[in-house]
Homo-oligomer: A and B are copies of this chain.
Amino acid sequence: MVYHLFQVNFSGETRMPKAKYENIYKEIKQKILSHEYESGDYLPSENDLTEKYNCSRNTIRKATLFLIEEGLVQPHHGKGVRVIYHESQRYNLTRSGISGFSQSAEKSGYRVTTQVINFTELVADGRLSQRTYFPEGTTLYFIQRVRYLNGTAKSLDTTLLRKDLIPGLTPEIAAGSLFDYIENVVGMEIRTIKRSITISHISELDKKYLKIEDYDCTPVITSRNYNLNGEMFEYTESRNNPDSFQFNSVAWR
């Protein structure tokens, strides 16, 4: 069983979009998902859409850009914009991104639980600094959590957070959604996430918490998160259960 995570992105929020292009993007996306625009078809021309949505061509093009980034359509110079959506994409849709574990999972209807197995503070030494890129001497929260989906251990996450930027953390908060706390309580917006996937041998901790039996290694997602000011405030190493691991991405030109 592969849980489709790691694919809901920033734009997957439920807030009311204020920008015109965002609404147009969502409406066209909906029509693609509901097969009103069938795979292989061309979207109405930009001029048609301009009339239909009573906006400028630039606005249509910005909406279309999102669809391209999501791998839903593909523009063809001189011909039109073709739908290349495949039903198998439905739960893997992403526009360049990944976001909170809880959000994406709950959106998919999964039951999420979190077990906090470590919660301390520490100061970054040279070794840790080299690994995380936090400056030496930075005071950090050190949090280790096991994330469950419908009762099955999905990942073992080690998170380091700058205490000066994300104050007031408690194990209780960490047991819920860190993403939610950062965005809605602290009021800090996550703007950029740089991620890297590598393979690592499993440790005793992995074995213990992820209940990995069939594999001797695990995919590790290392991510560095930046806030509005361009400050790196979070570093996370997510060690995943190989059975349910899936990561999607779309490239285009």
Residues of B within 8 A of A251 (CB): 9-10, 96-99, 192-193, 195
**What are 27 A-B contacts defined by CB distance under 8 Å?**
A2-B198, A9-B251, A9-B253, A10-B253, A71-B192, A71-B194, A74-B226, A74-B230, A76-B228, A88-B133, A96-B249, A97-B252, A97-B253, A98-B251, A191-B252, A193-B250, A195-B248, A195-B249, A195-B250, A195-B251, A197-B219, A215-B216, A216-B216, A217-B217, A217-B242, A219-B219, A247-B247
CA distance A248 to B193 in the complex (A): 11
Task: Check if A214 is an interface residue, CB within 8 A of chain B.
Answer: yes
> Is there a chain B Cβ closer than 8 Å to A199's Cβ?
yes
**Which of chain B's residues have a CB closer than 8 A to the CB of A249?**
96, 195-196, 249
A114–B1 Cα distance when bound, in Å, is 34
In the complex, which of the residues B194, B216, B242, B253 contacts A191, with contact meaning CB atoms closer than 8 Å? B253
Oligomer: number of copies: 2
List, in ascending order, chain B residues with CB within 8 A of A84's CB: 192, 226, 230, 232
Residues from chain B with Cβ under 8 Å of A9 in the complex: 251, 253
Residues of chain B within 8 A (CB-CB) of A250 are 96, 192-195
Tell me, rounded to whole Å, the shortest Cβ–Cβ distance linking A46 to chain B. Answer: 17
Q: How many residues of A contact B (CB 8 A)?
A: 54
Q: Are B98 and A197 in contact, with the CB atoms below 8 A?
A: no
Chain B residues closer than 8 Å to A232, beta-carbon distance: 84
> Would you call B11 and A199 a contact (CB within 8 A)?
no
- Of all A-B residue pairs in the complex, the 6 with the closest CB atoms, nearest first, are A97-B251, A10-B253, A82-B230, A199-B242, A197-B247, A193-B251
A101 within 8 A of B: no
CB contact between A89 and one of B191, B194, B228 (< 8 Å): that residue:
B194
Give the CA-CA distance A3 to B253 in the complex, in Å. 24
Mask, A77-106, CB within 8 Å of B = 1, is 000001110101100100011110000000
The answer for the CA separation of A239 and B213 in the assembled complex, in Å, is 21
CB proximity of A5 to chain B, nearest CB, Å: 12
B252 A198 Cβ-Cβ under 8 A:
no
Against B, the Cβ 8 Å flags (1 = close, 0 = not) of A50-64 are 000000000000000
Closest to A227 in B: B74
Query: Does residue A180 face the partner (Cβ distance < 8 Å to B)?
Result: no
Query: Which of A82, A97, A228, A251 has the largest number of chain B CB atoms within 10 A?
Result: A251
Complex Cα gap A90–B146 (Å): 32
